[in-house]
Amino acid sequence: MEIVDIFWDRIYLKIIFKGSSLNKKNICLQSAKKSYKLELTKLEEDKYISCINITNITAGNMLENDNYKIISKEDNNTLDIKITNELGYKLEQLDRIYRYGRDFFAYTVSFKIKENENNDLICIIESRYMQTNKKYKNLQVGNPKNKFRKIIIILVKSIFKDLYKIFSIMHKNKKNNILLMSETRAPIGGNLKALDDRLKERKINEKYKISYSFFKTLEQGKISIVIKWFKLLWGISKQKLIFIDDYSPIFKFIDLDKKTKLIQLWHAGVGFKSVGYARFGFSGPDPYNSCHRKYDYAIVGAESLIPVYQEVFGIDKDKILPYGLPRLDNFLDEKNISEAKEKIYNKYPNLVNKKLILFAPTFRGSGQKDAYYPYEKINLNKMFTLCQKENYIFAIKMHPFIKEKINIPQEYQNYIIDLSDYNDINELFYITDILITDYSSNIYDFSLLNKPILFYTFDLDIYQLTNKVHRPIREYAPGKICITFEELVKSIYEREFEEEKLKKFREENFSIKYKKSTDLIIDNIILKENKNG
């Protein structure tokens, strides 16, 4: 039993079901509060249609504000009715807005896709009544708890704004002051470390005062965050230039002085996960109140990526500079590669003279607080057998958000190891022969080494439909896509990597006509902005 199609006919929402004897079941539209039985009409042998009049769901009433599932009730048991993958891709195009009351009011029907406990895709129909605000900042109609929370947020934001203005007036002369900061990583690393190293190589640090701030905001309690932010405001107010490498929520609460420029050195080259305003309307940021809109410049890897990050950050394309990523300036330098290998082999001598398969997927879950990976999807026994036969080491490198460690049985530990605590994945790339990942942006850096990439995407359709992606994975993945672990192992045995996709990916996603990224940033932003006052 499944839903194979949903479509509109004016005010009628029509749902096509497929399954045997559906007319004998109680099919309902159900929320936490109410349940409405749906009438079914037979179309053919195993297909039925239900027609919902949204202006008259029952007794002259429309649906109330709520979220509704389509379920089957039978013998006091409730069963979610799943949707097909094909319908999932269609649903996001079906949202409707019905304006009324001289366009001051609207009734909306929207569709969201969820994964239930049985790993089935189900459709959630959201019914909402909305009212126009003269200003987007006005408090929305809602329950007292939400109103109180929003009042607190507005109050804190106002205090931060005023305090920053006072601090900024106290620091009128911002010339020669640079802040490198992150609210998602500590200590410094990635693009910011590469920039910092180059500033010191060119002795820019002798003419500029460089400050640093690194702490993980999302791992702090709310009171701790506020205290840290009060201290950080003082440092921010002094700066001429501020470089960040990820989402930095403090900038939601302040409007930077015109003399200060905020530059985003986004940590990811390009992956598949949609982030920022690419998720707008799907648990994405506020229309206006997001730090992403505050960037004066954002640095990306290539001109072809400008439209991608124009969507992500919600800023004009002339603010997005395709200078390349600072951390990749010396990525292919033979000396760096040799030093990294020596460092790794000293720490893990059992990796010497072994071929390495690096398994580095992204996390599942909504974010840092609930990140996980379904370890049951890794068949350690099959991988152990492969490693024995082919002289491989299978190294697991989980996303930093994932705190739970994988349990590797003692008998496997000569061939399967956990390197999740190793800080720099780019160094591990140097000793990697095959990368296995899924939706992660780590493919961007690794692709420069021209080594095979396999994509283990057991939940491909579910992930694309419930998390959203920038680009269809089947179309853009620079390597073979494997849905089952058996298919993954077979691809390694038979060396089926579809490496022709890798060349295309590199041509589309890297700038090759520029000099080093860090020098472009220093010459065209740091020195130029300081010269302009």
pLDDT in tens, 181-223: 999 888 898 999 999 999 999 999 999 999 999 988 877 888 8
Comparing C-alpha atoms, which of 63, 131, 194 is closest to residue 518? 194
DSSP string, 289-346: --GGGG-SEEE-S-GGGHHHHHHHHT--GGGEE----GGGTTTT-HHHHHHHHHHHHH
How much is the pLDDT for 219? Answer: 78
**Average pLDDT score over residue span 337-365:** 94
**With bands split at pLDDT 50, 70 and 90, how would you rate the model's confidence at 298?**
very high
Comparing C-alpha atoms, which of 520, 262, 315, 485 is closest to residue 394? 485
Tell me whether strands 77-80 and 66-74 are parallel, antiparallel or unpaired.
Answer: antiparallel
| Helices within 136-290 (DSSP H only) | 144-170, 190-201, 222-236
Longest CA–CA separation in the chain, Å:
81
Sheet holding 453-456, edge to edge: 416-418, 392-396, 355-359, 434-437, 453-456, 480-482
Give the Cα separation of 52 and 122 in Å (integer): 18
Domains along the chain? 2-131 (no CATH), 144-329+524-531 (3.40.50.11820), 334-509 (3.40.50.12580)
* Geometric angle at alpha carbon 484, from 20 and 506, rounded to 5°: 125
Name the strand (E) or helix (H) holding 518.
helix 517-521
How much is the pLDDT for 235? Answer: 94
How much is the pLDDT for 65? Answer: 93
Is the confidence at residue 21, as pLDDT, over 80? Answer: no
**Average pLDDT score over residue span 28-43:** 92
Give the Cα separation of 503 and 14 in Å (integer): 45
Q: pLDDT tens digits, residue range 141-194? A: 556 666 777 788 788 888 999 999 999 999 988 889 999 999 988 889 899 999
**With bands split at pLDDT 50, 70 and 90, how would you rate the model's confidence at 513?**
low
Give the Cα separation of 108 and 99 in Å (integer): 8
CA atoms within 13 A on the CB side of 62: 17
User: What Cα–Cα distance (Å) separates residue 54 from each residue in 51, 362, 430?
Assistant: 9, 40, 58
CB atoms within 10 A of CB 141: 11
User: What Cα–Cα distance (Å) separates residue 472 from each residue in 122, 442, 469?
Assistant: 21, 17, 7
Is the confidence at residue 355, as pLDDT, over 90? Answer: yes
Tell me whether strands 121-131 and 66-74 are parallel, antiparallel or unpaired.
Answer: antiparallel
58: CB partners within 8 A, 6+ apart: 36
**With bands split at pLDDT 50, 70 and 90, how would you rate the model's confidence at 102?**
confident
CB 401 within 8 A of CB 440: no
Q: Output the CA torsion sign for 185, 189, 194, 200.
A: positive
Q: Can the peptide bond before residue 187 be classed as cis, meaning omega within 30 degrees of 0? A: yes
**Average pLDDT score over residue span 45-73:** 90
3-class secondary-structure state, position 275: coil
Q: pLDDT tens digits, residue range 444-493? A: 999 999 999 999 999 999 988 887 787 789 999 999 999 999 999 999 99
Q: Please give the model's pTM, rounded to 2 decimal places.
A: 0.84
Kindly state the percentage of the chain with pLDDT values over 90: 63
Q: DSSP assignment, residue 493?
A: H
Q: pLDDT tens digits, residue range 62-79? A: 889 999 999 998 777 889
Is the confidence at residue 318, as pLDDT, over 70? Answer: yes
CB 505 within 8 A of CB 445: no
Give the Cα separation of 328 and 323 in Å (integer): 11
